[in-house]
A and B are shown apart, each in its own frame.
Chain A
């Protein structure tokens, strides 16, 4: 199973090296063999799965953290695997004709293969952490695929939005997984199921629920995160077919389905899902009415379909899970078809504008057949599988204990609107008169029309013979929720029941709506007025505000001026320490413990103060440098007074050298000017005095504390005994801490090399300047 997942990745890497040779020319169909072989591989499991066997494989990854590559193949993951590889095969083949001659076809196949592998990994993972990894991989490959036309600004923007929304959701999934893992002590979903009570009774149940919802709703484009999906339609149509209708957007559905037995059956879980699903399905189905781009219509109807699925999972009954399972299949079959049909129309006729397209059946009959069949399945007209699916949805809502009528009414409204969307995308372009400009449209390539026809026909085969799906897929899917499956019988004809009446009502209203309401630019402009209120623009404004804020933040704190950085750091230090000092300082200075003041000390201190004053207020550079020297010598004398002869000697030598160096370079420098204005100097002066005062107070505070001389005592005691030296300071430097001194010397050496290098550096630009 690991190999099945890795194949896609390996293929993508091979493309990286093999590049264009593999996918161009006669070999263009080669990539399609990979999903095809995987499809066959998974078909072989149908028998096992229908016998209630569950295939489980574990490969150790990071066992110490409980993170393993454990894969489970049960009804639900088998359904998704078959969709991923089955539709994948068709999409891979379709792409070879759709993007024929594209310069970056190899890249495209690479992304597609990575996506397929990641999606397989996602639905097969039993471990929440590896599920997260694959989840994010699908987001990333989706990002590249949406932005495939990377010369278009809109494409790049949409790709970015999609990545932002779904990537964020992925992080929520990780957080949710970690909390679940800490509650149950395992990351394997199958093991978590044994600790169901722990989760339900946990204090963190609501938190986990919100995190998981966040992940699922962003990935599956639920309101109010739905807006990335219409944007994602900027991707080439094969991508929209594959990722944004059939597989990736269903990852959130998959997650909810998978975790329903674990976290479901609570009020919070069911109510939230039902309400969010309801809002999404009605809101976006309604939006279909106002689109004129075929892909736009399909995008909103896809969101609506995802809303239906969330809604059904939220209902949480056996019938609703059954309806959801069947509807996943139904939707994948007709929606992928419709997208491919859109792609062909776009490819051949050069437009997707529904107000212009008509009569295309005369130039591309097979495509028209596919589109019309898909629209029929979409509208739930017998004998398509769509009819079976829609009946199950109504049965699910009608048999509810609470508010059955209300929820059924919403389901009907949604279905009517969705069927309208199907007619618009699947029927409208092909009926009526063929306009002159489309008369010369060429007949599409075999690989363009065959995949949609195949899928559309499959929808009817399953519709006529629903038992094909019953035991093989549908029962095992419902089984994964832990509910009883013995009474499941998929049938096309149920006899004259209320559900049949509702079906007829839906179909009738849908057709009526299609004949009454023609898609027009006016409607599109009408809805555009409300764009400001849509979640999309609200979130975009939030993002914009955030960008502006961080821009402001950065330019305030990262001004590029050294003095601003220093000022901010010092100001922060002063306020923080000042606040602490205000709180716990006694300000009692014990003068009695201090040494007595003598005259020569006062003289030196006076000289020191004067020299500091001179440095600060000097008008000439030479005066400032000389005062610096005087300051250094005064400190040197202080060292002499207070028993530090070594320090005094060093300070003396170094100070002399510094002054000499300074004087040496002085004559090369420009006039010594006061560059800052009066105000600034006052401000800096206040800041500096506050800083100096803080240091003084700190010093006094520390002086009031007892001194710990343990280390000094050790050195003093052992200086002669261990190191045979009488000058303790020297012994510390060259013996006890000899290695440190060694490093210090190398620092000096590096500095010396730097100085030497700078002096020897020849500046060519200097000559240019002088010219």
Chain B
């Protein structure tokens, strides 16, 4: 299974990068979302996967008695998901406003616009 997940992670990175290299700003943001998902999956995978044993201490016990999934990558990813949401929501609103201002979603055209936005 890990092998397939590694391939999937690579695929996410590839798709994300490809989308980021496009000229449309919407695609750029979608690419960003895909890459951040890929990164999450990579961290998750490298912390090794464990089936059916969430890192929750069972009732009536003070420590783990059997194997458990690694909690550290999970904490990291949780943070990453939330932060990337902050980025994404800001970026999405930004496209909207940028489009209103410059009437294009083409990054190259935005590059050359010299109109000052007041």
Contacts and interface: CB of A to CB of B under 8 A. Distances in A.
Nearest to B37: A635
A646 B92 contact: no
Interface string A631-651: 110010011011111110011
Contact of B71 (A608, A642, A672, A716): A716
B90 A754 contact: yes
A669 B101 CA distance: 12
A699 B88 contact: no
Contact of A643 (B24, B34, B51, B103): B51
Q: SS class of chain A's interface: helix, strand, loop or mixed?
A: helix
B9 A675 contact: no
A707 B2 CA distance: 14
A233 to B, nearest CB: 43
Interface in B1-55: 1-15, 17-24, 26-28, 30, 33-34, 37-38, 40-42, 44-55
A98 to B, nearest CB: 48
A675 B21 contact: no
A727 interface: yes
Contacts of B45: 699, 703
A516 interface: no
A217 B50 CA distance: 73
A752 B85 CA distance: 10
Interface string B39-83: 011101111111111111111001110001111101101110111
Contacts of A699: 5-6, 9-10, 42, 45-46
B75 A732 contact: yes
Q: SS class of chain B's interface: helix, strand, loop or mixed?
A: helix
A726 B117 CA distance: 53
Contacts of B41: 635, 638
A540 interface: no
A662 interface: yes
A566 B20 contact: yes
A33 interface: no
B79 A594 contact: no
A632 B33 CA distance: 9
A45 to B, nearest CB: 64
Interface string A718-748: 0111000011110011000100110010011
Nearest to A649: B78
Interface stretch (A159-167, A283-291, A298-306, A689-697): A689-697
Given A669-B95, A748-B82, A609 B8 contact: yes
Contact of B13 (A562, A567, A695): A695
Interface in A409-463: none
A695 B51 contact: no
Given A692-B14, A733-B79, A728 B55 contact: yes
Nearest to A740: B79
A670 B27 CA distance: 13
Given A635-B41, A712-B70, A661 B92 contact: yes
A761 interface: yes
Interface string A692-716: 1111110110110001010110011
A153 interface: no
Given A597-B4, A615-B19, A631 B34 contact: yes
A695 B9 contact: yes
A211 B3 CA distance: 60
A675 B100 contact: no
Contact of A561 (B5, B10, B81, B108): B108
Contact of B57 (A595, A720, A765): A720
A624 interface: yes
B82 A654 contact: yes
A406 interface: no
Contact of A717 (B4, B63, B85, B118): B63
A334 B10 CA distance: 80
Contacts of B81: 647, 650-651, 654
Interface residues of B, number: 93
A330 to B, nearest CB: 63
Contact of A594 (B1, B62, B68, B75): B1
B87 to A, nearest CB: 7
A744 B22 CA distance: 30
A703 B92 contact: no
A151 interface: no
Contacts of B101: 763, 765-766, 769
Contacts of A651: 81
A589 to B, nearest CB: 6
Interface stretch (A10-18, A35-43, A317-325, A680-688): A680-688
Nearest to B59: A726
A675 to B, nearest CB: 4
A334 B75 CA distance: 83
A684 B28 CA distance: 13
A650 B84 CA distance: 12
A154 B81 CA distance: 61
Nearest to B48: A707
Nearest to B112: A560
A595 B89 contact: no
Contact of A766 (B9, B50, B54, B100): B100
Contacts of A641: 51
B95 to A, nearest CB: 7
Contacts of B18: 616, 684-685, 688
Interface in A534-582: 560-563, 566-567, 570
A601 interface: yes
A726 to B, nearest CB: 4
A662 B91 CA distance: 10
Nearest to A602: B4
Given A642-B69, A692-B10, A669 B103 contact: no
Contacts of A716: 55, 57, 63-64, 68, 71
B62 A720 contact: yes
A673 interface: yes
Given A612-B15, A615-B34, A560 B3 contact: no
Given A561-B111, A712-B70, A758-B94, A605 B22 contact: no
B82 A650 contact: yes
A596 B1 contact: yes
Interface string A395-410: 0000000000000000
25 contacts: A560-B111, A562-B20, A563-B22, A566-B20, A570-B17, A605-B4, A612-B34, A615-B19, A643-B50, A644-B74, A651-B81, A654-B84, A658-B85, A670-B103, A675-B23, A688-B17, A693-B14, A695-B9, A696-B6, A699-B9, A699-B42, A707-B47, A727-B55, A729-B55, A763-B97
The 4 A-B residue pairs with the shortest CB-CB distance in the complex, in nearest-first order: A692-B14, A696-B10, A751-B86, A643-B69
Given A665-B96, A709-B70, 8 more contacts: A563-B23, A597-B1, A635-B37, A662-B92, A687-B21, A721-B62, A728-B71, A758-B93
